[in-house]
Amino acid sequence: MDPRVEWAQGRQNAPGQVDPSAYPQQAPVDPRVEWARDGDAGFGSGREPGEASFGGSDDVQLSREVDGVLREQPEAASVVQKLTADPNPLNVTERLRDPATRQETLNTIKELADGRVLGDKPLLEFLDEHPGDGTLFEPIPDAVNLLPDGTTRKDAFVRESQLHDPVRAVGAEPTPAEFAEVTEYARRLLRAEQVVKSELRHLIEGTDATLNARTKTPAGLIDKVQRMVNGAPERPPRPEYKVGDVIDAVGARITVKDTAELAEVIERVRGHFGFGDEGRILEVENMYAQPKGRNPAYRVVPMVIKVGSGGQLFTFELQLTTRRASIAADINHNTIYKPYIEAGEAERAKVARMFEEAAALDQIENRGLNNG
C-alpha cells in the first residue's frame, strides 16, 4: 500500500486537542520525590540514581545466574555484572533484578552475545542482503513532518510555544529568577507526564506492551540546553537552543515483544494521535525504514507528539521499540554512549557487536530467517 495512504488512514481518528478529563486521573506527584529522578536516566526504573545495591541475597543470586547463562560469553557477563551493580538505572537491569523477567532477559542477552545471525559479517552488508519487509520498513511521507512551506511541524510548534510561554525561551545561562521559572515549568511538565501516561495506558490496553515514562528535572533541562549550545565532536553547536527546544523534556517508551507487535502499536499510535494539520504528531523517525547513517544498529521509532495539560500544549517524545532492541540499546547506552561503567576494549567491542546483532535479528524477524 502507498505509505501516504497508510498514514492518511490515521487522520480520521485524529483529535485536534487532547481532553485530559477523558482519561483516568493519576495520583498527584509527591513534591518530596518529584525531582529524585534524573532526567537523563533510563526510562521507568524503580531505583533512583545514586541508590546503590548493597549485595543482598537477591544480588548474589542474580550474579550467579548471569555467570551461569553467559558462561561462554565472559565479556558480556562482565558488562552485565557491572551494569547491575551500577546505580544508574536502566530498564534492562530492572528486568534482571525482577525474578519474573530475569530468565527471559538473560536469554535475550545470550542471543545477542552469541551473534549467530551476523557471524563475522558487517551489519551494513547484512542489511543490504536482507532488505526490510512489511509496513514497519515503509518510509515516512514528507507531509507527516513538514508543513507545505518546508518548515518542520516540530520547529513551528516550538517557535509558537516560545511566544506564548516565555520560560521556553530561557537559554543556557539562566538568571536565578529564570531558573525559578524553569523549576515551575518542570512542575507543569510533571503534570503533563501524568496525562501522557494515562493516554498511553489506554492506548496499549489488551497488549502485553510495557510503558515507562520520565520527565527531566529543572537542572536536566538546563544541562540539555547547555550541551546543545556547546555542541560536541559529532554535533555542531546550536547557540540559539532554548528550554522550549527540549522537545523530549517529557519522554515515554512503549516496549513490545517483537517487530510484528511493533508494527501493530505504530498503527494504534498513528490512529489515535493523527498527523498533519488536524493531528498531534509533529515528527516521526523510523529507524527501521531509514537507519541512522552514523549508527545503523540503533532501532527505534521515536515520535514527537503534542499533549494538553492545564490549558497549555507541551510536547513529549514517544519511543516505540522491541524488547530485544531496548535491551541492546540500554547496554550500549551505559557502556559506550554514556560510559557509566568502566569497560575494557574487548568488552566495548562485544557490546557494540551485540547492538548490531539486535538490529540484524529485528531486520529478519517473522520471516523464518532467524530460527535456525
**For residue 234, what pLDDT is reported?**
84
Task: Say which CATH number the domain at 339 has.
Answer: 3.30.460.10
3-state SS, residue 94: helix
Give the tens place of pLDDT for each residue, 266-301. Answer: 999 999 999 999 999 999 999 999 999 889 999 999
Q: Average pLDDT over the chain, rounded to whole?
A: 87
Range(s) of the domain holding residue 109: 1-372
Nearest to 213 by CA among 254, 265, 266: 254
User: Considering the entire predicted model, what is its pTM?
Assistant: 0.83
Specify the number of domains making up the chain: 1
Q: Which of 5-14, 50-59, 129-138, 190-199 has the lowest mean pLDDT?
A: 5-14
User: Can you tell me which residue has the cell 550541551?
Assistant: 227
Q: CA torsion sign, 310 to 249 to 200 to 141?
A: positive
Residue 75: pLDDT over 70: yes
Residue 165: pLDDT over 70: yes
Ramachandran angles phi, psi of 2, nearest 5°: -55, 125
Give the tens place of pLDDT for each residue, 235-251. Answer: 999 999 999 999 999 99
Give the tens place of pLDDT for each residue, 12-53. Answer: 333 333 343 333 333 333 332 333 333 343 454 433 344 444
Ramachandran angles phi, psi of 146, nearest 5°: -120, 145
